[in-house]
Every structure is written in structure tokens, then in C-alpha cells.
Amino acid sequence: MTDVRVRFAPSPTGALHIGGAHTALFNWLWAKKHGGRFVLRIEDTDRERSTQAYEDTIYAGLRWLGLDWDEGPDCGGPYGPYRQSERLELYMECAEDLVSRGLAYRDGAAIIFKIPQGETISFEDAVYGAISVKSETLKDQVLMKSDGTPTYNYAVVIDDHHMAINWVIRGEDHIANTPKQILFYKAFGWELPRFAHLPMILGKDKKKLSKRHGATSVHEYKDMGYLPEAVFNFLALLGWSPGGDKEIFTREEATRLFEISRVVKRAAIFDMDKLNYVNQEHIKMMDPKSLVDAVLPFWKKLGLPVEQFDRSYLEQAVSLLEGRGRTLVEIAEFTDYFFDFNSVAKRYDGKESADKAESLRPFFRALLAIEPWEAPQMENFARQWCDEKGMKLKDVAMPLRLVLTGRKVSPGIFEVAQLLGRDEVKKRLSHYNLI
């Protein structure tokens, strides 16, 4: 295969949304699969709506996902420039060429392409197969508007040709644009790129993706506690699979396994439950050090005094979760009691324990005397105590869990007690008048 050159060409009129990120990812995968080039081009001819702030969020979103570009803003390379606003002379020059050859005409300050009649425009889409359109179904196409800016369909052809793009991979909503663009290629005598149109992304209700299905901006997922590796993995599964039942993979694995021929035509379903599952699986693959680095901003956002604890303590805290927590936000929330007793006191009023205080106090006093202060010794003692008293382990473990965490679900409560330390456990039991 000829060296693959693909492009992602966002308009800086909004943040990088899920659909755009999905398109960028499939282009990136195809380029990396073949050792090709992934080009970033900014389509900024909408002067009123294009902003630098939106442009910056697009760059940040791509970088967060790990979709590094080989050419474009901040990169070198022989092709360019990479902004449509800097190529207006080129668009006008090419349009004038078509006028001079009788393939386009002027209408006031605008330049319009004449659609040839009696032609069948055909192309082989790598996903949708053979597609044909009769030229009679198309209207003459504006190339240059009266304000001196190019139309979308015209500009992308000029750009793709001059940037040597040989694979155009984009959303299936562009299928209708492709025959018009092919006519422009033929008018200039340029070689056609290969086309591959990606399936639509719909919500679980089979309607167009919107806020009601979940966040639409990539950066919102970062703020919601999703890992970039997981969002990458999840987006790759929208319309493609590596085969078999494999659903969890790294960027490197996806690059090795990716094939355009395995992209499906049917619409992909954006399922938050699936994203949560994928994210949790990626969290499970993280070592404690990396997980602490990832969770740290979310602990701080909750106002937890994590800076008062050493790294070893933080790493032990996340390790105790053993895969619990679907997002970094949940992990931060699920571990708040390791750093701040106020969060426990806000959640748990102690009433449930107060009703059993008389029977529980002897157990808790004896528990605090355990040597060494380690989970196995505490659990063995608790089991023996319960056997002697005709009680079940949960009769003492649940009250302890509520007092130490403020929750009915937590990691092993004796492991939690060990990490908190004897003094902190004593302090919390004392607060609820249980010793």
C-alpha cells in the first residue's frame, strides 16, 4: 500500500465532541497501522464562529486522547499551511482556473461550478461499498462565495490534493458530499483518494447523540474522571471490533489490530454503561502509583487534605479498593474516609450503632488492644468473639464499617482499620461513644 496520508479537519467553532474524536481516532489508527502520516488541518473559514479558545480545546482534547498529529499546527512538514484562512489565494487561483477552462462561471462576486450532465459518478467506499450517483441529481455548486471565502466541498478537495491526502476517512453524513467532490477532482485532473465513511453514533434510544445521552465534549469526560486510554478504547469500539470477544485493549493493540474492512455500516450505539465498564477495566490495569497520580486532582477537588499523607499511604488506600470504582471521581469519593473524618460524620449520624452500643463496646475495647495491629489478627479475633457470643461476623463488622467509613459498602473493614491506624480508629469509635 502507498504510504497512508490521512487528515482530521475540525472547525474551531466548538469544542472537540465525541463524533469528531471518533473520526480523528479512526484516521489516527489507520495512519499508525501503516506507518503513515496523520495530518491536522484547521478549517476556520467561518470567521464569525471560529475562535482561538475552541481551537485550543481541540488541540487539548486530541492530546489528552493521545492522538498526536504528524503535520499541522505546531508541527513541521512539507505540506501546508494548515489553516484554510491562510489559503484563500490558492482557492481563488484554482477557481479562476476552472472559469478559464469553461468549467465554472461567475455570478456576481461568486464563482460557481457547472455540474456536467449525463454522467454517472461512482466510487468504491471502503465501508459502504460501491456507490453511484447520476450527475443530473446535483445542482451547480458554489466554489467561492461573494465574500471571498470557499465553500466546504470545494475547499476540502483543494486542501486534500495539495496535502497529498490519499485516504479520506470521515462520518457517513459526508457520503452525499463525495460525488460533488469527485467532480472537482476530475475537473482538475487530480487522482482520487480512497474514501471510507464511518457509521453514525447514536444514543441507546437510537436517536442522534446529544447531551441527554451523556457529555458530548471530550474534555467533559476528562473532568468526569474517565481515563484517556479508556475513552480511546471505547471510541474504537464504536463501529469496529478487533474480532472475537476482545473488548479491552491498549493503543498499541488497537493499532496492530485495526482494519478499515472491519468497520461496520450500522450505526454505533453510545452506551454510558459500556464506557463505565471499559473505564473500570483500565483502572484495574493501573499500578497504585499511576492511579494515585490520576486520582489526586479529584481528591483535591473534594477538598480532602491528601497532602498531609505520604505517597505510600495514598497508594495503599487506592490498592484496598481492588478494582471498585468506575471512574476516578468515584474512586476519590469512595476513599474520602481515609483522609477526613468529617466526611464520615456527615454521612453517618451514629443512630444505628447507638442502638447496639452496650453490646458492641466490649468488642471494640478488646479490638483496640489487638497486637500487632494487622488485619488478619483483627479478623481472627472478631470471628472468635462472635463464635463465643453466638453472633455473626457481620454483627460487629457492619457497625465498624459505618463508624470508620460512613458507608455500608467498603473494602475489607479490617484492612481499612489497619491502614487508618489504631489511634484514628479509636478516635472514630470514641466520637460515636462506642468505647
* Mean pLDDT, residues 358-367 taken together: 95
Query: Is residue 410 predicted with pLDDT exceeding 70?
Result: yes
How many other CB atoms are there within 10 angstroms of residue 170's CB atom? 21
Percent of the chain at pLDDT above 70? 99
**Average pLDDT along the chain:** 95
Interhelix angle 311-320/413-420, rounded to 10 degrees, is 170
pLDDT digits 0-9 by tens, 55-91: 999 999 999 999 999 999 888 777 766 889 999 999 9
pLDDT of residue 80: 64
H or E, element range at 57: helix 52-65
Q: How many helices (H) and strands (E) does the chain have?
A: 19, 11
pLDDT of residue 81: 67
- Peptide bond before residue 81 is cis, with ω within 30 degrees of 0: yes
Interhelix angle 393-405/413-420, rounded to 10 degrees, is 40
Burial class (CB in 10 A: 0-12, 13-18, 19+), 47: exposed
* Mean pLDDT, residues 130-150 taken together: 97
Query: Is residue 340 predicted with pLDDT exceeding 80?
Result: yes
Query: Is residue 9 predicted with pLDDT exceeding 80?
Result: yes
Q: What is the topology classification, in CATH, of domain 286-339?
A: Helicase, Ruva Protein; domain 3 (1.10.8)
* Annotation marks residue 211 as catalytic: yes
What is the C-alpha separation between 245 and 119, in angstroms, rounded?
A: 45
pLDDT digits 0-9 by tens, 254-307: 999 999 999 999 999 999 999 999 999 999 999 999 999 999 999 999 999 999
* Mean pLDDT, residues 305-310 taken together: 97
Q: Is the Cβ–Cβ distance between 72 and 43 less than 8 Å?
A: no
- Which one is catalytic: 139, 206, 211, 351? 211
How many other CB atoms are there within 10 angstroms of residue 210's CB atom? 9
How many other CB atoms are there within 10 angstroms of residue 245's CB atom? 6
Q: Is the Cβ–Cβ distance between 79 and 162 less than 8 Å?
A: yes
For domain 345-435, give its CATH number from 1.10.10.350, 3.40.190.10, 3.90.1150.10, 3.30.980.20.
Answer: 1.10.10.350
Query: In a 3-state reduction of DSSP, which class is residue 143?
Result: strand
Listed ranges 45-54, 348-357, 389-398; the one with the highest mean pLDDT = 389-398
Rounded to 5°, angle at Cα 68 from 66 and 72: 150
The sign of the dihedral angle between the CA atoms of 366, 371, 374, 379 is: negative
Is pTM beyond 0.75? Reply is yes
* Mean pLDDT, residues 90-117 taken together: 97
* Mean pLDDT, residues 184-190 taken together: 98
What is the C-alpha separation between 196 and 265, in angstroms, rounded?
A: 11
Backbone angles phi, psi at 422, to 5 degrees: -55, -45
Q: Is the Cβ–Cβ distance between 158 and 91 less than 8 Å?
A: yes
Whole-angstrom Cα Rg for the chain: 30
Determine how β-strand 5-8 pairs with β-strand 37-40: parallel
Burial class (CB in 10 A: 0-12, 13-18, 19+), 188: middle
Confidence tier at 244 by pLDDT (50, 70, 90)? confident
Q: Order of strands, edge to edge, in the sheet holding 129-134?
A: 129-134, 120-125, 194-198, 167-171
Confidence tier at 186 by pLDDT (50, 70, 90)? very high
Confidence tier at 312 by pLDDT (50, 70, 90)? very high
Confidence tier at 215 by pLDDT (50, 70, 90)? low
What is the C-alpha separation between 308 and 298, in angstroms, rounded?
A: 16
* Mean pLDDT, residues 175-185 taken together: 98
Distances (CA, A) of 315 to 150, 282, 299: 55, 17, 13
Query: In a 3-state reduction of DSSP, which class is residue 194?
Result: strand
- Peptide bond before residue 242 is cis, with ω within 30 degrees of 0: no
Query: Is residue 1 predicted with pLDDT exceeding 80?
Result: no
Contacts of 129 (CB under 8 A, 6+ apart): none
Q: Is the Cβ–Cβ distance between 222 and 18 less than 8 Å?
A: no
Q: What is the topology classification, in CATH, of domain 5-198?
A: Rossmann fold (3.40.50)
Provide the CATH number for the domain formed by 202-284 in this structure. Answer: 1.10.1160.10
pLDDT of residue 276: 97
* Mean pLDDT, residues 224-252 taken together: 96
Lowest mean pLDDT among 210-214, 380-384, 404-408, 417-421: 210-214
Q: Is the Cβ–Cβ distance between 160 and 150 less than 8 Å?
A: no
- The domain segmentation of the chain, as residue ranges, is 5-198, 202-284, 286-339, 345-435
Confidence tier at 232 by pLDDT (50, 70, 90)? very high
pLDDT of residue 74: 81
